[in-house]
């Protein structure tokens, strides 16, 4: 990519599509709702975790929070329900939710084109990673479901003090890949993903396969919103980034 390819976000035209974007040096992917169909399981795990501390939370109220830092989620949802949690309590609730999720996430389904896309990126040598707000140890079943030729690079909440919507996770992921944040695309399904991409100065690609509809993704800062990873795979093939 040349210097002129590294177009600032402000110079990308309105009504933009993937074809309008500068080619990425690296791609970062959220996990739940982006490459694996697990948002409903995450919401159910959180519902059960909150119930353990005496808070009955409607799963529909939890879905919009999926993809955010679990400790932040715990504090925000508990506060809305009338209870303040200190950092230790939020961390414990996050870990409880993670353990419940592991029990539920026994056979996760991958989302359309996820395995094909990530396998093609690996074959092309284009750097990519999974950047997820999940705690360490909560991603193994979902990553195995992708059936990738080799284990992908993973940046999770254990790498940072504050995960999404803070940009710290994306900065850490870019550092792991050895690339500058503005040269990356971050692909995610939630408002928190897109907010983090804005904070990190990355191009956010919203995928409407999980927690948020296209309008919500765009409102949160997505540069482009697409129906599924099929669109992204087709664009990268058109560019010659990955093979046909």
**C-beta of residue 202 within 8 angstroms of C-beta of residue 181:** yes
Domains of the chain, each with CATH number or no CATH: 3-37+109-239 (3.40.50.1000), 39-104 (1.10.150.240)
Helix (H, G, I), strand (E, B) or coil at 25: coil
Token pair for residue 135? 């705690």
Taking only the tens place, the pLDDT of each residue in 183-207 is 999 999 999 999 999 999 999 999 9
Token pair for residue 24? 């990425």
Taking only the tens place, the pLDDT of each residue in 47-75 is 999 999 999 999 888 988 888 888 999 99
User: What is the average pLDDT value for the chain, to the nearest integer?
Assistant: 91
Strand (E) or helix (H) holding 87: helix 87-104
Token pair for residue 146? 């992708």
Q: pTM to 2 decimals?
A: 0.88
What is the pLDDT, as a whole number, of residue 3?
36
Is residue 165 reached through a cis peptide bond, with omega within 30 degrees of 0 on the bond before it? Answer: yes
């Amino acid at each position: 990519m040349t210097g002129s390819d590294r177009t600032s976000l402000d110079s990308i035209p309105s009504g933009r599509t993937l074809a309008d974007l500068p080619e990425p040096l690296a791609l970062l992917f959220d996990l739940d709702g982006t490459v694996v169909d697990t948002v409903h399981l995450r919401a159910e795990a959180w519902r059960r975790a909150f119930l353990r501390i005496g808070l009955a939370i409607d799963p529909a109220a939890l879905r919009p929070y999926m993809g955010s830092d679990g400790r932040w989620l715990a504090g925000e949802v508990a506060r809305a329900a009338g209870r303040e949690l200190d950092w230790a309590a939020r961390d414990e609730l996050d870990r409880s939710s993670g353990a419940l999720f592991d029990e539920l996430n026994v056979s996760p389904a991958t989302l359309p084109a996820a395995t094909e896309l990530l396998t093609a990126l690996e074959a092309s040598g284009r750097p990519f990673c999974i950047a997820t707000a999940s705690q360490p140890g909560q991603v193994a079943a979902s990553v195995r479901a992708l059936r990738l030729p080799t284990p992908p690079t993973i940046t999770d909440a254990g790498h940072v003090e504050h995960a999404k919507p803070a940009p710290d996770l994306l900065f850490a992921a870019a550092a792991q890949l050895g690339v500058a944040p503005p040269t990356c695309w971050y692909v995610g399904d939630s408002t928190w993903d897109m907010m983090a991409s804005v904070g990190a100065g990355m191009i956010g690609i919203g995928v409407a396969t999980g927690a948020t509809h296209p309008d919500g993704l765009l409102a949160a800062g997505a540069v482009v919103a697409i129906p599924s990873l099929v669109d992204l795979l087709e664009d990268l093939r058109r560019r010659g980034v990955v093979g046909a």
